[in-house]
Homo-oligomer: A and B are copies of this chain.
Amino acid sequence: MASTPPTVAEYLIRRLQDHGVEHVFGVPGDYVLQFYDQLARSPITVVGTTIEGNAGFAADAYARIRGMGAVCITYCVGGLNAVNAIAGAFAEKSPVVVISGAPGRREREKDPLLHHKVRTFTTQYEIFQRITCAATVLDDEATALAEIDRVLAACQHQKRPGYIELPRDMVNVRPPVRHRPAEVKRVSDPDALAEALAEAVALLNAAECPVILADVEIHRFGLQQELLQLVEQTGIPVAATILGKSVVSERHPLYLGIYEGAVGRAEVKEQVEAADCLLMLGTFLTDVNLGIFTAKLERARAIEITSEKVQIHHHRFEGIEFADFLHALLRADLRPRPGALSPPGAGAGCPAGAGAGGQAVAGAGAGGQAGRGKAAAKADAVAQGKEAAKADAVAQGKEAKEGRAAVPGEAASAAPLQAPLTAPLTVDLLFARLNDFLTDDMIVIADVGDCLFGATDLVIHRRTEFLASAYYTSMGFAVPAALGAQFAAPEARPLVLVGDGAFQMTGMELSTIAYHKQNPIVVVLNNHGYTTERFILEGPYNDIAEWHFEKLPQLLGAGTGYVVRTLQDLDLALIQALADKGGFSILNCHLEKMDHSSALGRLGQAMEQKLKDMNADA
């Protein structure tokens, strides 16, 4: 700390930087202008968005990639626009710090009707208390700095949003207190850890067909490397949930696929549910993750390790940190399976044909290794030998091209790709082609609806490069998230999958993307309305206006638009968009209104059934 004690604003900015925040998203307003002024003088870059909700989504994506994100908005008219995005970050465990300007302490005397005030001066604070893990109003100089530490530490530890309200007459106050940033290091109870570990190790070693189910907290706590190491050391195959998609490279030979009960692919369901020991890491048992409760995961065969608890079968352990347990597991005496670093399909007694090898994909191509670990490269080599024949079969019907990965699974691959180039585009064709075009430098960001369900089958090359509002499922997440993602990872290129309805909610954030010369490829799945809902209950309310998305570049004075109606249109547009790195590309992909991925078909059935059951009960 410098010898002059910092102002409240200086301290807050410094602590944000300590947590890796280099960009803050928001919209200025009079109650927050002084703090904006301080931000503008700091090393932190302020990224102005069109509206605060989009700033929330951008910061959420940034937090998922960087470990913490921040929005900075004005009082009520600003903050209350961001409630949904921050609620989503809460639901999906993304640590976004909300910094809100507010009327000054002295302005609040006698409770005047200041503009932007809703009911009382604490209305906004009370609302954010409900969607954050820690909230504070910095109205006392004696505690302001400690309160900043408290909120940031809670966000950091709980991976949830926090709320800091900064009355505008506190921005430049220098609290007359000596304050050292408090770092709370959380430590596991060593005895509880030892007992739980011993039990887990014994169960895993005794198991014939163990499976790891990796979920969102692996991502949030940055434990992807540890997961990979565990998988490769032991040879235990790993599945991911849709929320945890891409926590491990989806081209890894020990990767099984996405598990989501009956909504997911049958072979993944079979193997996960047949496991005699299921090691659930960082799981978050939501209805979406569980395939609208069609999953059958038995506690009696499960070990669940999360930031909130360690549970083995029906008993729980308290006081064990998630990361500590995973690190201990890596050091423990876990027996390597015969198939360690090779597909476990060879192992005896496990469901036939459901091993990882059944879906491993050749990682050929020059670009394939960039950014990946030594182990992964070795794994690829293994897969390459065994699976080259299959990969060739998959690639049939199109030119073999370096740098392209082949397509996994049945539905989305060989069959549709035999369609003529002039065939009208379908959802299956679209996803199959996107899979071909995925490159190693891409982050896939899927919005809600068939973007999300169809994307389940996309093979993400590197880990942690799939972002979606997969539990909270808030439409409109993807385009603003792309803004945040590209600031968080400037070397990466976002591939945004978004429906026409979702784009109409927030897609105009492309404006800010254009302003900052970012270059995402935005694929609009234009199925002319709310198709996901049509499968549940059809009515005129599912119809929406038709936008000529390809004309957006004219409105914004940047980017390139494409109309896509056939497979050939798609190929040409994707080739051009990949080559054109100077700005955003937007593809208006026309799809039949009732066309859908097979995953959405299964989900729609599950939800429709649920509705019928409910009406029958009523």
Contact = CB atoms under 8 A, between A and B. Distances in A.
A539 B473 contact: no
A169 B51 contact: no
A40 interface: yes
Interface stretch (A31-39, A200-208, A406-414): A31-39
A219 B471 CA distance: 44
Contact of A504 (B83, B170, B173, B508): B508
B116 A472 contact: yes
A599 to B, nearest CB: 15
A542 B30 CA distance: 11
Contacts of A476: 51
A297 to B, nearest CB: 14
A48 B541 contact: yes
A613 to B, nearest CB: 9
Of the candidates A34, A123, A127, the one having the most CB atoms from chain B within 10 angstroms of its own CB is: A127
A102 to B, nearest CB: 12
Contact of A169 (B83, B123, B540, B614): B614
Of the candidates A87, A107, A506, A611, the one having the most CB atoms from chain B within 10 angstroms of its own CB is: A87
Oligomer copy total: 2
A308 interface: no
A557 interface: yes
A253 interface: no
A76 interface: yes
A112 B287 contact: yes
Contact of A515 (B48, B545, B552): B545
A30 B533 contact: yes
A368 B539 CA distance: 44
A180 interface: no
A30 B288 CA distance: 13
A33 to B, nearest CB: 4
A51 B287 contact: no
Contact of A115 (B48, B81, B288): B288
A294 interface: no
B104 A119 contact: no
Interface in A526-553: 530, 533, 536-537, 539-549, 551-552
A77 B83 contact: no
A80 interface: yes
A84 B76 contact: yes
25 contacts: A28-B530, A28-B533, A33-B536, A33-B611, A39-B541, A40-B541, A48-B543, A81-B83, A83-B127, A88-B118, A91-B118, A91-B119, A113-B284, A113-B287, A115-B286, A115-B473, A116-B474, A118-B131, A123-B130, A173-B618, A515-B544, A515-B545, A546-B557, A547-B556, A548-B554
